[in-house]
Structure 1
């Protein structure tokens, strides 16, 4: 495999006028507040004219870029208190803008046909009509929603600070030391030495057990607030989540039904791993870390080259994009303790760029994660950046996002397996692929079951840390088909997705995106027109629900279990190949 020079540090200087200086960023956000105040001062009895609507649409994009920039700065050595204040200001800006748009929607709804025709004749941007003619919330509902959004953001910040303030006492190389939450989470799952992984995992969980009451209070408060908002608006969070993600309940049910039917075939791998380790059953931690037993390393430049090579047979443009992205300074791969576990891709739609953060440690898993985040960046690049009066939070389908990211990830892992001649390394990579598949279908299923059941339980009153732990363990046991010896008691603290202010049920989109991506990858090998169809599919994100886009571009009905079962069959084939190796 060829390698090349690949910059591993991102460039944040050319994205916003303020650059990466936190004080200047604060001033930039203040200037956005002034723009909003000016718009609010222009409010009349009639709706905004087209120039004012364009100003509002531009402001929405600027606020979204500021929010992405905030997430980038959280990984740098910056003033965390000032950043938290900036994040609160951004959240307040979004709430006020949503209220302003709601008022415009209300004005349009009260216009006579003649008034509307006259107003509309001066509006060339027809997308604004779609945004303003949509069903609007009442002023009471909008006020409640804005209050909930701002309060949830504050609770998310409290969670982030509480997690950041955690210190884990461990002994490494015979010396006692302190690790941050991010450092200990990474070491517990990714350290090369198994005894070190186990030691850090135990100490991290001991630390979380002592602080579990605080995190239980935060999570209880967030869910209680969402439930109260549901009562006012007569809505349901799961139903709204499905709508935002572009699928119907029958699609979700069809996917989970296919997963349930396939559990006996999927748990075969868990039994194989138990036999290999000389145990009756393996634990959750065994499963999440066994892929680290391979000593094979992939330096960052080699990973970039491999991802590019993997995508070339599918779409030469994707392959070229990978190299251009790295050379343009979109990716920050250098390990830092300020980075959260995992990684993220922050879009800057007006600038037509993205920024990717991850702790790259030369492991196969970090190379896989790099491919995953680059898939997000490719998706953002394909999306149409048309002026709109809605935030992407309200229209961006995480199901489509995860399909795009896991598409890149799986293509890369398959490429590694196909191009590895060493049988032991091939088996290790295949094992890591299978374990990742089980994570999408079992671990994430457990997270979904837990969240869904906690929402129901919380309606009867707050639950303490012990009750949360019990509910989490029950959900995991069901999702893994009772095939593990021990489960993870503090998933509900470690998974940041549970505490995100604007995205409840941020779990099933991963499972759906995973299965949809491997189903589409299979079609990419057979359909000569796949590249055109796939690009069209991604470019129309948010214009039609995912369910309709998949049927439009690929003629697939996601409400039928057939497609999901065919996708899962590819995983059972991987398990059979692993058994033979």
Structure 2
């Protein structure tokens, strides 16, 4: 929680305390991870997969050329993300960012929303793209499909879940009256809209993979981001852009580090158990390969932090997030070119996510997922805001 604190001394103290706690339990976590990864290697081989990554690709409904196009695009754009982090360091008055500076606030967030204002703002932004989508969001608010308040005993974060028989969704959130709270609601309502579209189909045709699960949520979040930018002042716009770049850096750079780490772990685990120090060394090496000189202090215990690593059923529960963000941004970029016909195509695309491979889903919008130019077009959206952020700091 303190990673978002404006006081660097508090962020640093919290970070060091976190590392201290992970260090105290590292042997137990390393033993657990050895067991999970060893089991995964054995089971996936017995099931006929060439590797855990092979099984993951099957679950994600993509193939290796698509993954290679995605990963190579992120790798190509690492200098852009490192440049953003170097500019963030300047904005914070630092020579270089540490891991505990990644979420430090930059600029001044000016927009605050009551729940009713959040309702109206989200409906307005959704409706500007697709009136049907806006009407759906309005219905979700008015019918109280959202549990928005933060209260004692309630789990943190946000979540959307679908009820197939009722063909409806329910959303848990902890709305905090900030733009970030509005963005989170838009994200979850995007999931709900996706569910609304696929729930009209039979059970076997509505279960979509992780790679496509974040499409509607990120697309919806980006619609709200665009609306917020239009209504913000110069200083407020800088804060919004920096927050967007924070998220993009996590979904692209940090996710790539986790992909590198897990690839290395599976390779090493075939030879035997790894010690806690070996896991930490692999994690820090993966972060250095991705963040590079964008950071001066890394987080060697991220292998213990992320619960995704501890499931034999969900190996490589990382790259689908990068896929989701860039696929959604690529769709948004395409919507600017297609115009008024795009909302209908978008809805058709969402409806097919439970029944077709990702390549065929993308094909409905004329997209070739194995073509790096598509992924670069999506990355260019992020790069445009990285440039604006840099220019804004120099003004």
1:268 pairs with 2:80: no
**CA distance in structure 2 between the partners assigned to 1:204 and 1:305 by the alignment:** 39
- Give the deviation of 1:513 after TM superposition: 0.9
Residue 159 (structure 2) pairs with residue 344 (structure 1): yes
Q: How has the CA–CA distance of structure 1 residues 402 and 558 changed in structure 2, closer, same or farther, with 3 Å as cutoff?
A: same
Q: Cα distance 1:361–1:430, how it changes in 2: closer, same or farther (>3 A)?
A: same
Larger gyration radius, structure 1 or structure 2: 1
The 2-side partners of 1:205 and 1:485 are apart by 16
Identify the match of residue 437 of structure 1 among 243, 248, 256. Answer: 248
Q: Are the structure 2 counterparts of residues 505 and 340 from structure 1 closer, same or farther at C-alpha, using a change threshold of 3 Å?
A: farther
Of 489-498 and 396-405, more deviation after overlay is shown by 489-498
Q: Name the SS for the 1:346 alignment partner.
A: strand
Counterparts of 2:107 and 2:270, CA distance in 1: 41
SS in 2 for 1:289: coil
> Bigger CA drift: 190-199 or 532-541?
190-199
Change (3 A) 1:456 1:257: same
| 3-state DSSP of counterpart to 1:550 | helix
Distance 1:388 1:356, change over 3 A: closer
In the alignment, structure 1 residue 529 sits paired with structure 2 residue 344: no
Does residue 139 of structure 2 align to residue 324 of structure 1?
yes
1:485 equivalent in structure 2? 296
Task: Kindly provide the CA deviation profile for residues 481-510 of structure 1, in whole angstroms up to 9, marking residues without a partner as x.
Answer: 332111122222222322346422121111
Question: Which residue does the alignment assign to 2:150?
Answer: 335
User: 1:373-388 to 2 correspondence within 5 Å?
Assistant: 373-388=188-203
Match of 1:228 in 2: 42
Q: Greater CA deviation, 367-376 or 191-200?
A: 191-200
Q: Which residue of 2 aligns with 1:396?
A: 208
The answer to whether residue 50 in structure 2 is matched with residue 238 in structure 1 is no
Cα deviation, residue 297, structure 1: 3.4
Q: State the match for 2:126 in structure 1.
A: 311
Q: How does 1:136-535 map to 2 (within 5 A)?
A: 187-191=1-5, 194-235=8-49, 236-291=51-106, 294=109, 296-336=111-151, 342-388=157-203, 396-420=208-232, 422-500=233-311, 502-527=313-338, 528-535=340-347
Q: Of 369, 372, 380, which residue of structure 2 is paired with 1:558?
A: 369
- 268-277 or 195-204, larger mean C-alpha shift: 195-204
Q: Report Cα offsets for 1:42-81 as digits up to 9, x if no partner.
A: xxxxxxxxxxxxxxxxxxxxxxxxxxxxxxxxxxxxxxxx
Tell me the matched-pair count.
390
Partners of 1:201 and 1:238 in 2: how far apart? Answer: 32
Q: 1:356 and 1:502 mapped to 2: Cα distance? A: 26
Conserved in 2, the CA contact under 8 Å of 1:190 and 1:292? no
1:547 aligns with 2:327: no
* Highest RCO, 1 vs 2 (Cα 8 Å, sep ≥ 6): 2
Q: TM-score, normalised by structure 1?
A: 0.63
CA–CA distance in structure 1, aligned partners of residues 256 and 176 of structure 2 = 28
Contact 1:258 1:564 in 2 (8 A): yes
Deviation, structure 1 residue 389 = 6.5
Deviation of the 1:470 alpha carbon: 1.5
SS of the aligned residue for 1:444 comes to helix
Gaps of 5+ in 1: 1-186
Q: Secondary structure at the match of 1:354?
A: strand
Superposition deviation, residue 573 in structure 1: 1.1
Aligned counterparts of 2:27 and 2:110: Cα–Cα separation in 1: 39
Q: TM-score, normalised by structure 2?
A: 0.91
Q: Secondary structure at the match of 1:347?
A: strand
CA distance in 2, matches of 1:374, 1:453: 36
Assess, with a 3 A threshold, how the Cα gap between structure 1 residues 205 and 371 changes in structure 2: closer, same or farther.
farther
Q: Deviations over 1:511-570 (max 9, x none)?
A: 01111111111222232211111111111122110111111x211111011111111112
CA distance in 1, matches of 2:313, 2:223: 30
Deviation at 1:292, TM superposition (A): 8.4
Offset, 1:191: 4.3
Coordinate RMSD, CA, aligned = 2.3
8 A contact 2:82–2:293 mirrored in 1: no
